[in-house]
Amino acid sequence: MSDAVIAHLAAQRDTILERLKTLIRIPSVSTDPAFAPHMQAAREFLLNRLKEAGFADAQLLEGDGQPAVYASWMGAPGKPTLVVYGHYDVQPPDPLALWHSPPFEPAIRDGKLYGRGASDVKGSTVIAVETLAAFLAVTGGCPVNVRVFLEGEEECGSPGLRSIVTRHREKLQADALLSADGGRASTSVPTVGVGSRGIAALEMTLRTAPKDGHSGRYGGAVRNALREMAALLASLHDDQGRIQVAGFGSDAQPITNTMRAAAAALPFDEAQWYADFGGLPWGDPTDSVAVRLTLRPTIEINGMWGGYTGAGTKTVLPAEAHAKITMRLAPGMDPAAAQARLRAHLRAHVAPGVRLELSEDQGGSPASTLDEGHPMLRAALAVLEREHGQAAYPARAGGTLPVTAIFAEMLGMPAMKFGLAMPDEDVHAPNEFFRLSSFDEGLRTWPRLLSALGALSAEEFRRIDRG
């Protein structure tokens, strides 16, 4: 069945590529309200394409933030039902000066399609939508039941996603989430995304006095808020990067030999990885880098500020210091518990008398993990092995895809990430690009995966192989 669909997609390839370019031309930046009209334009473009393709119920799902684009086709009774996920929002294009061609004018150079959102994740989203459209055009239906769900707030942390699920729960019932976001973990071996770390956030302010002082008049006899902040933040890790917060991660799933082996199975050259980024080693040296990045939690200072930060010297003794912290959570960790342990550590380690103000609970989401015995994963690996003629690997990501955790928690569904983005495509940075070879590959592997999943009954789909 998929061969005819693949042939149809190949024949339509240039038209589909033009559609992707049109979508990239729409600057759908979700984090900045100035781009609201473009967010709407991106939604309308996708909505129209879904209607044109035959999704009669294509519609917007409203929540507390940017609406999601939704469409369903439920004409395969007894077959699995999948939420096919993508997102239409993109990161801001700043710093603009570093782009070699304008971020919202797609340009092809050396087999790469440049433009903001090309890799993250308009490319893979268009592949997913066009695959479904081709099935409807060629076969009059899809191999599985489908609920298309294209989010508009992924790039700003999915703040309204829970409200959409709460309001439209019945439209999102499915056996699994199949995500076009969450691409390859490697440029040299094919991978399927089977998990991501969770996330939690905390913002803090220290106050050592009601107001700043003159460093000559008070210096040497009163505490300095910046020094206290430095000492407090320095207490979070030892010199090698091991977290020193009591109980932090004690609720994490113990890392088994099987988990270590899975992390080690994916070819990964640690020295090359450090050389590529230019960063310095950190974290428990008895863990592999892959384990540190995907199975261990982190506490990361994302921002820190206080006192005088302008040009020249100011002899101020600062009374106030600020920091922003996010934590990546290992599988099993509860975001609220992680926050609570960090709060307890900060309260226990702050010097007596120093006022410590911590932000309210900012939510967060747990890690997500797809069971390695899930038939969806077996099918995906087989499709990639056929496409590439080499072994494919399940891979966890260090980042967080909130929808995977939120749909698991609220709708009870497992998630698999089958995106085409490669890790070197400068997402969230200038000169983002998407390989045309990946574009073409997706127009073969997405039809094959859907066909393979359609060969299973809904019951078989849910049966985890514990072998």
Residues 102-131 that bind a copy of itself (CB under 8 A): none
- Picking from 220, 264, 265, 216, the residue whose alpha carbon sits closest to that of residue 381 is 265
Q: How far is 105 from 36, CA to CA, in rounded Å?
A: 19
Q: Which of 170, 272, 277, 286 binds a copy of itself (CB under 8 A)?
A: 277
- Residues 355-414 binding a copy of itself (CB under 8 A) are 362, 397-400
Q: How far is 352 from 150, CA to CA, in rounded Å?
A: 50
Is 316 a binding residue for a copy of itself by CB under 8 A? The answer is: yes
Could you give the string, one character per residue 56-85, with x where binding to a copy of itself holds by CB under 8 A and - elsewhere?
Answer: ------------------------------
Cβ-based nearer residue to a copy of itself, 29 or 443: 29
Is 321 a binding residue for a copy of itself by CB under 8 A? The answer is: yes
Q: Which of 44, 94, 459, 465 binds a copy of itself (CB under 8 A)?
A: 94
Whether residue 289 is preceded by a cis peptide bond, meaning omega within 30 degrees of 0, is: no
Q: Which residues contact 19 (CB under 8 A, 6 or more apart)?
A: 49, 126, 130
Q: Which of 234, 336, 391, 464 binds a copy of itself (CB under 8 A)?
A: 234
- Residues 180-199 binding a copy of itself (CB under 8 A) are 196-197, 199
Is 272 a binding residue for a copy of itself by CB under 8 A? The answer is: no
Cβ-based nearer residue to a copy of itself, 90 or 150: 90
Cβ-based nearer residue to a copy of itself, 93 or 143: 93
Q: How far is 23 from 343, CA to CA, in rounded Å?
A: 43
Q: Is 246 exposed, middle or buried (0-12, 13-18, 19+ CB in 10 A)?
A: exposed
Q: How far is 243 from 236, CA to CA, in rounded Å?
A: 6
The separation between the first and the last C-alpha atoms of the chain, rounded to the nearest angstrom, is: 30
Q: Which of 77, 140, 353, 389 binds a copy of itself (CB under 8 A)?
A: 353
- Picking from 312, 315, 255, 307, the residue whose alpha carbon sits closest to that of residue 286 is 255
Is 24 a binding residue for a copy of itself by CB under 8 A? The answer is: no
Is 301 a binding residue for a copy of itself by CB under 8 A? The answer is: yes
Q: How far is 52 from 229, CA to CA, in rounded Å?
A: 57
Number of residues that bind a copy of itself (CB under 8 A): 98
Is 292 a binding residue for a copy of itself by CB under 8 A? The answer is: yes
Is 219 a binding residue for a copy of itself by CB under 8 A? The answer is: yes
Is 306 a binding residue for a copy of itself by CB under 8 A? The answer is: yes
- Picking from 407, 414, 334, 411, the residue whose alpha carbon sits closest to that of residue 367 is 334
